[in-house]
Amino acid sequence: MIHAPLLKISPNAQGFTKAAEILRAGGLVAFGTETVYGLGADACNDTAVAGIYAAKGRPSFNPLIVHLDGPDAAEKYCVFNDNAHALAAAFWPGALTLVLPLKPDAGVSKLVTAGLDTLAVRVPDHAVAQDFLRTFAGPVAAPSANPSGRISPTTADHVIAGLEGRIDAVIDGGPCSVGVESTIVSCVDEPALLRAGGIPSEAITACLGRSILMPDDPDTPMSPGQLASHYAPQGRVRLNADAADDGEVLLGFGPVDTDLNLSPAGDLTEAAARLFGCLHQLDAMGATRIAVSPIPDHGLGRAINDRLKRAAAPRD
Ligand code: TXA
Ligand code: MG
């Protein structure tokens, strides 16, 4: 029952009601959040969740993040310990996803958890996402709203360009303010960073008052579905470039000579917000070879470098 053409829904009461009806009927609705656009389905409806994988062309059933309208709703689906409570209190609503033990009778589709006994949950900090979630009044499973392996969407037009004909609707939430995906922290055992993202890891450790396992630590549980090649523009990507070689377009950071710059002032928050938009722009320009300036590897720079490393990884 895919709507064609894709409905662009305005963020008002009538729009949220329409979007919630589509979800209740098993449809797919993309929506703006502060990180990236999500592709939402009713997390308790197996067929609808399977539709997410089909629309994205996701190669296998990797677990999905469930989006909720508040911490109380999250406690209905998973078990919180002291670390989880502290992180939720400090960073929700916001760009933090917690992986926690799933309550057995929660009713969430096994396609959401990929059969794991843990669940990833997030409360987004964006008025459009919150109004949509409140109107639907249930858990919404949502990966980023892009075809698998491609650049994540930070505007409704990115979603339409990638998924037209494969999903029902998109709620326009304007450009995403954070611009990279949420930070994922597992609190199942020892707290562990599973993915760098919109909340710097330094803020997580400061909140917990202790260090946490990092992704390159052998004791850190692997987050399923972190493919090496991901977030990829059409062109080949070369990292840590001081200047462009012949035939390359330079994606700059800081005071470098180029027309396309993540942040001429060298501001990591601005660079994160602009990252995926610049990669989409490079696709639109038809850039076949892309050089990227070095980005400092702290704060939001860690999430930016993680995405760029995957954009530059060898592809099948
Ligand atoms: O900012 C975001 O997180 C965006 C917006 C839409 O909320 N969503 C997003 O979803 O980035 P997605 O599907 O692109 O990434 C979800 C990540 C995957 O790498 C998956 O492996 C991990 O979350 N994940 C989900 N459930 C998990 C679980 N139970 N245990 C470990 N990792 C999990
Ligand atoms: Mg994604």
Separation between Cα atoms, residue 129 and residue 204, nearest integer Å: 23
Q: How many Å separate Cα 268 from the centre of its chain?
A: 18
| Closest-lying ligand 1 atom to the alpha carbon of residue 64 | 25
Give the 3-state secondary structure of residue 167: coil
What digits encode the pLDDT tens for the residues 236-274? 999 999 999 999 999 999 999 999 999 999 999 999 999
Complex ipTM over 0.90:
yes
Taking alpha carbons only, the member of 215, 151, 135, 158 closest to residue 30 is 158
The set of protein residues with a Cβ atom below 6 angstroms from ligand 1 is: 33, 35-36, 38, 62-65, 97, 99, 113, 116, 118-120, 122, 142-144, 181-182, 184, 194, 223-226
Report which ligand 1 atom has the smallest distance to the Cα of 39: 6
CA of 144 to the centre of ligand 2 (A): 4
Burial 242-260 (b: 16+ CB within 10 A, else e): eebeeebbbbbbbebeeee
CA of 145 to the centre of ligand 2 (A): 7
Question: Do 299 and 202 form a contact (C-beta atoms < 8 A)?
Answer: yes
Mean residue pLDDT across the chain: 94
Which residue bears the tokens 């202790």? 210
Residue 145's contacts (CB-CB under 8 Å, 6 or more residues apart) are 30, 36, 37, 38, 39, 152, 153, 159, 162, 163, 167, 170
pLDDT of residue 226: 64
- For residue 105 the two structure tokens come to 């009778």
pTM of the predicted protein model: 0.93
Pocket test residue of 65, 67, 171 for ligand 1, highest count of atoms within 8 A of CB = 65
Choose the weakest-confidence range: 53-62, 133-142, 165-174.
53-62
**CATH class name, domain 7-208:** alpha beta
Residues in the chain, total: 316
| 116 CA closest ligand 1 atom index | 29
Amino acid at 41: A
Q: How confident is the model at residue 140 (pLDDT cuts 50, 70, 90)?
A: very high
Domain ranges of the chain: 7-208, 236-312
pLDDT band at 15 (very low <50, low <70, confident <90, very high): very high
